[in-house]
Amino acid sequence: MAKKTAHSTLQIRDLSAGYEQRKKTHVVVHDLNFECSTHELLAIVGANGIGKSTVLRTIAGMQPSLAGDISLMGAPMAQMNSLEIASNISVVLTEPPASKNLYVSELIALGRQPYTNWMGRLTEEDHHAVQHAMEQTETTQLAQRKCFELSDGQMQRVFLARALAQDTPVIILDEPTTHLDMYHQAYVFKLLKRLTSEIGKTILFATHDINLAIQLCDKMLVLTPDAYHFDTPCRLIEQRCFDTLFPKDTIHFDTKTGRFTMKN
């Protein structure tokens, strides 16, 4: 694929992420270094509880980093105000909307908040962005439905549409394919792929679907208890980085097919 000139969107330097609780610091991940550019689809994989969500939340500016720097579009994120971050990074989280009574059209339009006036009034441009986001995610026919009427797959598409309506160069998703059937998993992955390759978004997401991620992603961040690896899927396979991802008793990584398989 002939890529247009890619430029760096996110730079992570010596990042430590974790929680501070009652003056005790729990470092979940430390000394992370990686860089994301436009047109790139990047996956973070690792076992449950390894800190994928913590890393994503830290990069998205939703929790403070413990150490290190994040720069966003070439500027240090620590010096940006929340509105500047909001117009550069949009998120899709694992949590359902707090209000299940929201109409789909209203939920997607909320993505325009960083750009609307104090009343949240939608301009012609905002309506256009919402329409466009709905077309890209095929959610137009859901517009008049309420959130509690949607299936998990539809809900995920709606949340993705909201992130697209926010119109940011970087989109961060936390386990976007959990609870989805195989068709919808592949659907979401292909959609993410299309958004990066065609529109030039930087998409960073955490996933448990390693087999699909290896097939589609440009780069992957592999978190293991001892170390982390960041590279293209092919090179990660060559370096046997997936071997140490899980305990070896039930599944193993087949280097030839690039998939995890059951042990006999």
Partner 1 sequence: MTTASSFKKHFLLLGILTVAALFLNISLGSVGIPLDAIADVLLGGDSIKESWQFIITQYRLPKAITAMLCGSGLAVAGLLMQTLFRNPLAGPFVLGLSSGASLGVALLILGAGIAGGFLGTALVNPWSLVGASALGSFLVLLAVVVVTLRVKDTMAILIIGLMFGSVTSAVVAVLSYFSNAELLQKYIFWSFGSLGNVSWEGIGILAACCMTGMLWAIGKSKSLNALLLGENYAKSMGVHLKKNLLILVVITSLLAGSITAFAGPIAFVGLAVPHLTRQFFKTSNHLILLPAVMLFGSILMLLCDTVAQWPYSEWTLPINAITSLLGAPVVIWLLVRKKRLLF
| Interface residue list for partner 1 (CB under 8 A) | 60-62, 82-83, 85-87, 89-91, 93, 95, 97-103, 105-107, 109-111, 113-114, 116, 118-122, 148, 166
Decide whether 50 or 93 has the Cβ nearer to partner 1.
93
- Name the 3-class secondary structure at 71: strand
**Shortest Å distance, C-beta 170 to partner 1:** 11
**Shortest Å distance, C-beta 107 to partner 1:** 7
**Shortest Å distance, C-beta 81 to partner 1:** 8
**Shortest Å distance, C-beta 242 to partner 1:** 30
**Shortest Å distance, C-beta 214 to partner 1:** 28
Contact in structure between 54 and 17 (CB atoms under 8 Å): yes
Decide whether 71 or 90 has the Cβ nearer to partner 1.
90
**Shortest Å distance, C-beta 88 to partner 1:** 10
Decide whether 110 or 216 has the Cβ nearer to partner 1.
110
As a whole number of angstroms, the distance between CA 110 and CA 167 comes to 12
As a whole number of angstroms, the distance between CA 76 and CA 65 comes to 13
Decide whether 146 or 259 has the Cβ nearer to partner 1.
146
Cα Rg, the chain, nearest whole Å:
19
**Shortest Å distance, C-beta 257 to partner 1:** 37
As a whole number of angstroms, the distance between CA 184 and CA 164 comes to 18
As a whole number of angstroms, the distance between CA 248 and CA 13 comes to 32
Contact in structure between 170 and 162 (CB atoms under 8 Å): no
Written as one letter, the residue type at 241 is: C
Decide whether 97 or 258 has the Cβ nearer to partner 1.
97
Tokens of 66: 């413990």
Q: For residue 204, report the phi and psi dihedrals to the nearest 5 degrees.
A: -120, 125
Give the C-alpha distances (Å, rounded to integers) separating 30 from 16, 51, 72. 4, 10, 19
Decide whether 1 or 98 has the Cβ nearer to partner 1.
98
Decide whether 49 or 225 has the Cβ nearer to partner 1.
49
**Residue closest to 63 by CA, chosen among 31, 26, 97:** 26
As a whole number of angstroms, the distance between CA 41 and CA 188 comes to 12
Tokens of 207: 């996933």
